């Protein structure tokens, strides 16, 4: 039955599936199997990727068609999504907590007169089959478990990179159908679009060079930035380093920053507080450099170096620059 299913919002009219939506489809499949319910992926706008929704674990992909100008207006998107969800009475709705998802999900929740738990870092089911939504609270100093006991649907937005990507099973069969929707009032129209900067985001980076407060200064972080450039990676930072002004908030990794899953994570001057570990524990290989042999980071790394961070970084930069000149 399509009613009371798990719904995952997979795109916002860009023509492609949001990469993190596959993570949510995999998690939704796991939870839905426990309750013997269906998983439905909602795609807004034309796309040639609907079959991938099925491969990732959905039983059905619903492709919404309407005036293409709708996809330029977050409020209009919220209206379209809420109309669809009202018609099919889902039990659970999941959004990716990216820039657009964080804007549209509250709009939909208000339209449906239900609650929304934003920026979740864990999803599970309680003993009654309710969605247990976990997110940081009080500045990341504790984790709150939240239930929506009465209103439906239960809604959550989830940070990218929280869950692993599912195995894409091309043998899976499912239904793909197109749903025409009347265009709502459009209040915003985009007349031009210009990408100001092309750079690898933290969440997409294969290699991250991260610094903590132990790096000691903005100058130290400039050195780590150079190391990241030589390695073909990008710079990351702990919250304490960001609060100290050593790096910008867009570099912050952890409960109150972004969640990352790089291939290699180099941690310089990072003690390893749990709030930061949550953000980088999905890394394939972790190399930690810290003077304190008791630093918690050494419990989570593959390779640990007990040393001041700077001589290690200097030596790496020196060797990489030599190699670059060859």
pLDDT (tens digit per residue) in 245-273: 999 988 999 877 888 989 999 999 999 98
Write down the pLDDT at residue 125. Answer: 92
Which residues in the chain are classed under CATH 3.40.50.620?
A: 6-180
- pTM reported for the whole predicted model: 0.76
Write down the pLDDT at residue 46. Answer: 76
**How do strand 131-137 and strand 122-125 relate by DSSP bridges?**
antiparallel
Considering the domain 202-325 in this protein, what is its CATH number? 3.40.50.1220
What is the average pLDDT score of the chain?
88
CB atoms within 10 A of CB 86: 13
- Which DSSP category does 165 fall into? P
Q: What share of the chain is helix, strand, coil (3-state, %, to 5)?
A: 35, 25, 40
**What percent of the chain clears pLDDT 90, i.e. is strictly above it?**
55
Give domain 6-180's CATH superfamily. Answer: HUPs (3.40.50.620)
Write down the pLDDT at residue 138. Answer: 72
210 vs 182: which has the higher pLDDT: 210
The strand ranges marked E within the chain are: 6-9, 39-44, 60-65, 92-96, 116-120, 122-125, 131-137, 142-146, 154-158, 175-180, 207-211, 234-237, 264-268, 285-290, 303-306
Q: Taking residues 270-296, what's their average pLDDT?
A: 91
Q: Taking residues 4-12, what's their average pLDDT?
A: 90
pLDDT at 209 exceeding the cut of 60: yes
Write down the pLDDT at residue 22. Answer: 94
Strand ordering across the sheet containing 92-96: 116-120, 154-158, 92-96, 6-9, 39-44, 60-65, 175-180
147 vs 180: which has the higher pLDDT: 147
Q: Taking residues 194-198, what's their average pLDDT?
A: 60
pLDDT at 314 exceeding the cut of 80: yes
At residue 99 the predicted structure's pLDDT band, cuts being 50, 70 and 90, is confident
Write down the pLDDT at residue 187. Answer: 77
Write down the pLDDT at residue 234. Answer: 94
Least confident of 50-64, 195-209, 295-309: 195-209
- Which DSSP category does 133 fall into? E
Q: Taking residues 122-144, what's their average pLDDT?
A: 84
């Amino acid at each position: 039955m399509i009613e009371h299913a798990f719904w995952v919002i997979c795109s916002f009219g860009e023509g492609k599936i949001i990469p993190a939506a596959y993570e949510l489809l995999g998690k939704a499949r796991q939870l839905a199997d426990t309750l013997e319910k269906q998983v439905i992926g909602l795609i807004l706008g034309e796309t040639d990727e609907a079959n991938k929704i099925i491969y990732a674990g959905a039983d059905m992909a619903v492709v919404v068609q309407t005036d293409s100008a709708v996809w330029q207006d977050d409020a209009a998107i919220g209206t379209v999504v809420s109309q669809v969800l009202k018609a099919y009475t889902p039990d659970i709705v999941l959004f990716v907590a990216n820039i657009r998802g964080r804007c549209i999900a509250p709009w939909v929740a208000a339209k449906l007169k239900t609650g929304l738990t934003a920026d979740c870092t864990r999803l599970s089911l309680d003993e009654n089959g309710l969605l247990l939504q976990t997110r940081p609270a009080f500045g990341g100093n504790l984790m709150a478990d939240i239930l929506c006991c009465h209103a439906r649907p239960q809604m959550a937005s989830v940070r990218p990179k929280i869950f692993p990507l599912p195995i894409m099973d091309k043998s899976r069969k499912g239904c793909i159908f197109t749903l025409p929707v009347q265009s709502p009032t459009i209040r915003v129209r985009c007349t031009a679009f210009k990408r100001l900067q092309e750079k690898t985001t933290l969440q997409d980076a294969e290699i991250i060079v991260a610094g903590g407060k132990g790096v000691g200064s903005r100058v130290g972080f400039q050195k780590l930035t150079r190391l990241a450039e030589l390695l073909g990676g990008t710079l990351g930072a702990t919250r304490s380093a960001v609060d100290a002004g050593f790096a910008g908030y867009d570099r912050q990794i952890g409960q109150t920053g972004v969640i990352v899953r790089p291939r290699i994570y180099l941690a310089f001057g990072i003690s390893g507080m749990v709030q930061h570990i949550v953000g980088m524990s999905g890394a394939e290989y972790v190399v930690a450099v810290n003077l304190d042999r008791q630093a918690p980071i050494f419990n989570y790394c593959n390779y640990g170096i007990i040393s001041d961070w700077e001589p290690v970084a200097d030596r790496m930069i020196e060797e990489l620059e030599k190699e670059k000149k060859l």
